[in-house]
Amino acid sequence: MSDHPNAPLGAPWPGPQAPPAPVADPLPEPVPEPAPPLWRRWRPLGLAAGLVVLLVLAGFTVTHYATRPGPPPPKAAGPPFDVGAAYRKVRPGVASIDATVGLGGEVASGTGIVLSPDGVVLTNNHVVEGSVVVKATLSGGRSYDASVLGYDRAHDLAVLKLSGADGLTPATLGDSGQVKPADQVLAVGNAVGTGAAPSSAVGRVTGLGRSITAYDENTGAGETLQGLIQTDADILSGYSGGPLADPAGRVIGVDTAAGAGYEFDAGERPHEGFAIPITPAADIARQIVDGKESGTVHIGPSAFVGLTVNDGANGSGALIKSLVAGSPAAKAGLEADLLVVSVNDEPVGSAATLVAIMDRHHPGDQLKITLAGLGGAQASVTVVAGSGPAG
């Protein structure tokens, strides 16, 4: 796999690049970040948030929280940081993403990083998971419909393809292996919402190799993102999937978790955020573009059965909470309060296991779902997966 995704779809990707020349038309300087309106759905940044998320494709409801990191090191003195110049270099490769989410048609805001002139865009999986319509807006107000090429739920990454895009300016990717504590950084993202220019947040790298754990609200079971860059830049929820850049405008990370909205020990809001290092993220993006599925990478549309589930008691399975009307599961006669114990004879010990199994399937697959009712009696039904929301 090549090291870097700054090329058209299917072309070799070069390695980390020098910063591009300034754009011809000056772009707006970054502006202070307004507080996001209460009506906007706050999607979890990097599997870390105080939001209930509906995973429609296998469908369980979870609330994500971040582990509390240690105090950051003191800021070291450094050369002057021309924030406006860095913003102007980063801005052409930033996509503002608005995803219409599943059942209620609610719109969530996020950000993406342009990887190729023909519209390959990297973002967080949680930005588009459960979405039925995705739109991306680039500098100059150009707007595109987007489809999800694939995603890696375990690493919270997804790759989009913008329909009809041509001649876009890809972001300049740096080498995240060269990042050091106290390095100055600029985060750029779509925290304002639909139609607004991305805003920015300035800070320093306060830690490397950090881990963030997301906890299921029902069972306390955790899922962890590892190897993250920690920063004291005031990253807000809409920055999710956007670039964390160095002073030269090179992307060193994918913003994926922020202090805003976390449930810490005493409800504090530390100004700390987290980003996936760009070098491994670019490798995963290249794998998705190449159409290579793996244990964590899913290519193409998601398999949709139309359940919402919670963990069963004591690791006994995935308990059905509700069904989507007219969904494959509803048509097959599944009901609330039944326990899913296996899919195609693969044991299901939890809601997370069911999601992982569904991630390996596609629309049209036949799924033998084994259910247990009161008293433990079991029965199996065959469900043909439909085409459902992304991620």
Catalytic residues: 126, 156, 240
Question: How are the residues of the chain apportioned to helix, strand and coil, as percentages rounded to the nearest 5?
Answer: 15, 35, 50
DSSP class of residue 17 equals -
Yes or no: say if 98 and 19 are a contact pair by the CB < 8 Å rule. no
Q: How many CA atoms lie within 13 A of 254 on its CB side?
A: 35
User: What's the sign of the alpha-carbon dihedral 233, 239, 241, 243?
Assistant: negative
CA angle 66, 68, 72 (to 5 degrees): 125
H helix runs in 265-387, sequence order: 278-289, 328-331, 351-358
**R_g (Cα) of the chain, nearest Å:** 21
User: What's the sign of the alpha-carbon dihedral 300, 217, 368, 293?
Assistant: positive
Residue 341, token pair as written in the block: 């114990």
How far is the CA of 300 from the CAs of 126, 158, 287, 292, 324, in angstroms?
A: 16, 11, 13, 11, 22
Where would I find the beta strands (DSSP E) of 115-156? 120-123, 131-137, 143-152
